[in-house]
Structure 1
Amino acid sequence: MHKFFREFRDFIQRGNVLDLATGIIIGGAFNKIVTSLVNDILMPLIGLLGGRNISEATLVLVPAVTNAEGEILESAVTLNYGAFLQSIIDFLIVALTIFLIIKTAISFRKRIDAFRKKEEEKKEEEPGPKAEELLMEIRDLLKKENDPKEEI
């Protein structure tokens, strides 16, 4: 049993599990923001153009049955397609936003990689002393050490 809990602890402490949990929490908060954007800002504007609130749009399949006093005896059967349309708009906005974030991150990563590659190429291109020049310097130093005549 101790081994089971140790393996579970190791699994939880892996970076990808923590990243996934963080992503889910941030995604939930982001979903609330997008839902508010759609419900409180976009849908009223769209409703203004259409003359009614889209989320309340319905198609009556079977009308309600009422008595002479107007009391509802049987509720109407409706197809509430407005809520479905609003969910589609929510999804499209979330998908578009995530796409733009990922596209921006990938573009940023490519720029960083290109910059690093350019810097590495500059370092490789910097001319250093050639092997022949180094060997000539070593030869001259050895001559000075071994030839007492050149010392003054």
Structure 2
Amino acid sequence: MWKEFKEFAFKKGNFVDLAVAVVIGTAFSSIVSAFVDNIIMPLVGIIVGGIDITGLTLHVGDAEVLYGTFLQAILDFFLIAFSIFLVIRFFNRFKHKEEVVDTPVEEKIEPTEQLLTEIRDLLKEQNKKA
């Protein structure tokens, strides 16, 4: 078990790939958060008439329940998830177009089909001579 763990954890490809993914994921997360906080949320605020739901609270005795902050976090999550979905969808379309262009079409002819094609060509030649 230790040997398998060492191979998994310290194998150059896995470790480097994981480190790169974490760094890129962190950078991408900050980009998406900035996009949602600075572009999407102000537009949503304009659409809903400037309502700020983070200030919604419920007072129960001496306790204060900040459910507006929770609702804002849920809304942020869905907006961030949707933004990531759109970005990934865009990149997948771009990648798919590259794959279609780069893939050459190779026709494999079966031996029997090749033989029949040769017989056909020979018969055409004989008909031209006759």
Please confirm whether the aligned pair reaches a TM-score higher than 0.5, indicating the same fold: yes
Q: Could you list the runs of 4 or more consecutive aligned residues of structure 1 that deviate by over 6 angstroms after TM superposition? A: none
Of residues 28, 31, 46 in structure 1, which corresponds to 2:29?
Answer: 31
Unaligned runs of 5+ in 2: 108-130
Larger radius of gyration: 1
Q: How does 1:1-152 map to 2 (within 5 A)?
A: 8=7, 11-14=10-13, 16-52=14-50, 56=54, 58=56, 60=57, 62-63=58-59, 74-80=62-68, 81-113=71-103, 117=104
Distance 1:77 1:39, change over 3 A: same
* CA positional deviation for 1:54: 5.0
State the distance in 2 between where 1:109 and 1:51 align.
45
Among the aligned pairs, what percent are the same residue? Answer: 25
**TM-score, scaled to structure 1:** 0.53
Contact 1:64 1:75 in 2 (8 A): yes
Report the AA paired with residue 37 of structure 1: F
For normalisation by structure 2, the TM-score amounts to 0.61
The offset of 1:11, in angstroms, is: 4.1
Please tell me the root mean square deviation across aligned C-alpha atoms, in Å.
3.0
> Number of paired residues?
102
- Distance in 2, matches of 1:110 and 1:45, equals 37
Q: Structure 1: which 5+ residue stretches go unaligned?
A: 66-73, 122-152
